Amino acid sequence: MNDLEKLELINTMEFVDNDADGENCSSVTVEDNKTNRNILYQIGLSNNDIGELIDEEGYINIAHVAFKYSNWWNGDYFENKVENQLKEFYGAVSLSGRVSFFIKSEDIESAEDAVFEDIEGIELILKDGSKLEISEINWELINEASRGNVRQSNIDDFEIYEEK
């Protein structure tokens, strides 16, 4: 079982209380019951290990264990805040594509103006759901594709139709 799977198991527990202030977290407690002990056994703790985690009120303080697999308690569950662990990379990429769109407008001329004049940027979503931040775009929308014996893929004339 990898660390992420262990963290996911820990987060299935019903947390009773925590002592955290947004920066420091000294305890996150769960009830000492069969379900929670089974989860702790699955992630590799023994009865002795669990016994050392029991506080004066009889709850299991799992903060120390969870922070082996996590770096943040958000008040509801443990997570990994990765921005401090990730390196920043910068680059550029050329793009050839055809974008389909839908726009509401008073007339076709206003719709065409909006497409060619009012677009400020685009957003790219990665497979994991996070967003690729686009810092600068140097682009030109193509109204009419080049004619002749040289053709670029995904480059066609601009099209716009009114839905009837």
Q: What is the pLDDT of residue 36?
A: 96
Which residue spans within the chain are E strands per DSSP? 15-20, 25-30, 60-61, 72-73, 78-79, 124-125, 131-132
Could you list the mean pLDDT of each consecutive 10-residue stretch along the chain, which spans 164 residues?
Answer: 90 94 88 96 95 95 92 88 63 73 86 82 78 73 79 81 78
Cα gap 143→113, rounded to integer Å: 12
Q: What is the pLDDT of residue 12?
A: 96
Helix, strand or coil, per DSSP, at residue 132: strand
Closest CA to 156 of 147, 146, 145, 148: 145
Question: pTM (2 decimals)?
Answer: 0.50
